[in-house]
Amino acid sequence: MYYNSIIETIGNTPLIKLNKVCEGVKGTILVKAEYFNPGHSMKDRMALKMIEEAEKAGILKPGGTIIEGTSGNTGMGLALVAISKGYKCIFTLADKQSQEKIDILRAVGAEVIVCPTNVEPDDPRSYYSVAKKLNQEIPNSFYPNQYDNPGNAQAHYETTGPEIWEQTEGKITHYAAGVGTGGSMCGTAKFLKEQNSDIISVGIDSYGSVFKKYKETGVFDENEIYPYLTEGIGEDILPKNVNFDLIDRFVKVTDKDGAIMTRRLAREEGIFVGWSSGSAVHGAIEYAKENLKEDDVMVIILPDHGTRYVGKVFNDNWMKEHGFLEKREFATAEDVIRQKNGQDTLLTVSDDMKIGEAVKLLNDRGVSQLPVTDNENHFVGSVSDSKVLTLLIEDPELKEQAVKKVMDKPLQFVAMNETLDVLTSYLNGEKPAVLVRDEKNRVHIITKHDLLMAVTN
């Protein structure tokens, strides 16, 4: 027996029982190893489905170009389909994606355009916007838009869900997956819940993403959005493929916890997978510790292979630089705030305040930097005494100008449970401070001095 092309090998990936990383957890924990797909990720499934649907609809014609914004894995799946069917590919990626993903896409003949991460989705520089613009400019091109294309979720409804149901002989009680575009989470959950409405679906989210709060409150809170490193899960938008009615519970996972579990899976289970896989397993096990019973069966999706992350999660130097490698216990951002007596209000300056007034505020309060907010109370920048002093020496009249003329980039938000080693990695170099939002939606600032006090006390 042989296959006529590489795309015929997509699907039918194995279920593997976890043994060591979930010791002490009741029930059976199984993982769906999607890296057995030819493109080494679950995205192969929906890539094929979206292209087939576009062909049926006459949107994609012979010799056409596929253009997509991707975190890398969707691009690989689309590239394999394109090779088999004779299409060209152009992919846009955010610059936080690993170099391995970029190199792999170029190796299979795709053109890759790298775009900045830390911009709004509708910014013309974002990888979403660049992909849409190219689609408008290039004749006979197709923009699959995995975030909103129903073929994404449908692919998992037709393949992943039925495979899991058959492989567990209908015994599955819990399904867990990282949520990014929403396709694998919701397409699979829809099928499984149609077979047994009691099955509980657990979505894994990142700190810095909007999903968990939106599910719990119905509010799209821009204050939840801040940069994070984990690739492939979490979003600063609400993709149409994310059906919150199909997700019973969200669990947030930090970059560090996901990275450490990714390495544990390789060393303790022999399962060499990507960062979001580690996040999914960590979050699912945290849920399982409190909720699973002896007879329960949980299935966790492992989206991709570890080869995409050898320069990051599996690189000791990279892990040390980001404060992820240490295994000993550290105090957290929450502990630092508590040590500072958890001030109720954060001192800020408005972007239209005069620079001279801002300098007086800095001096009066004895602080070296302050966040800058606009008239809607959004954090739009930061101002430091050292930079302002230098500018005023050069031009004393500058004190009558607005702060917005001289402010730096906004301070980065971090999660309340980030540990001191991770916070230290954020504040190495030029970053003077970070911001933290607590459970009461109050914002706090953590400086290098705060960290020093926390370490020495």
Phi and psi, residue 436, nearest 5° = -135, 135
Q: Count of CB atoms within 10 A of residue 296's CB?
A: 18
Q: Which tokens hold the place of 237?
A: 């938008």
The Cα 111–Cα 113 span in angstroms is 7
Start-end of H helices in 265-348:
275-291, 316-321, 333-339
Cβ atoms of 403 and 374 within 8 Å: the answer is no
Is residue 88 annotated as part of the catalytic site, yes or no? Answer: no
What are the respective helix, strand and coil percentages of the chain, to the nearest 5?
40, 20, 40
The Cα 362–Cα 181 span in angstroms is 43
What is the DSSP-derived secondary structure letter of residue 81?
A: H
Sign of CA dihedral 204, 210, 213, 219: negative
Residues 278/46/227/302 CA torsion (nearest 10 deg): 0
The Cα 399–Cα 417 span in angstroms is 39
Cβ atoms of 88 and 65 within 8 Å: the answer is yes
Query: What residue type is 207 in one-letter code?
Result: Y
Transcribe 17-80 into DSSP letters: E--STTTT-SSEEEEEEGGGSTTSBTHHHHHHHHHHHHHHTTSS-TT-EEEEE-SSHHHHHHHH
CA angle 302, 43, 163 (to 5 degrees): 60
Q: Count of CB atoms within 10 A of residue 95's CB?
A: 11
The Cα 118–Cα 433 span in angstroms is 17
Query: Per the residue annotation, which of 20, 32, 43, 340 is the catalytic one?
Result: 43
Query: What residue type is 398 in one-letter code?
Result: L
Cβ atoms of 305 and 265 within 8 Å: the answer is no
Query: What residue type is 230 in one-letter code?
Result: T
- DSSP lists the bridge partners of residue 202 as 176, 249
Give the total residue count for the chain.
Answer: 457
The Cα 383–Cα 353 span in angstroms is 12
Residue carrying structure tokens 């972007």:
351
What is the DSSP-derived secondary structure letter of residue 338?
A: H
Catalytic residues: 43
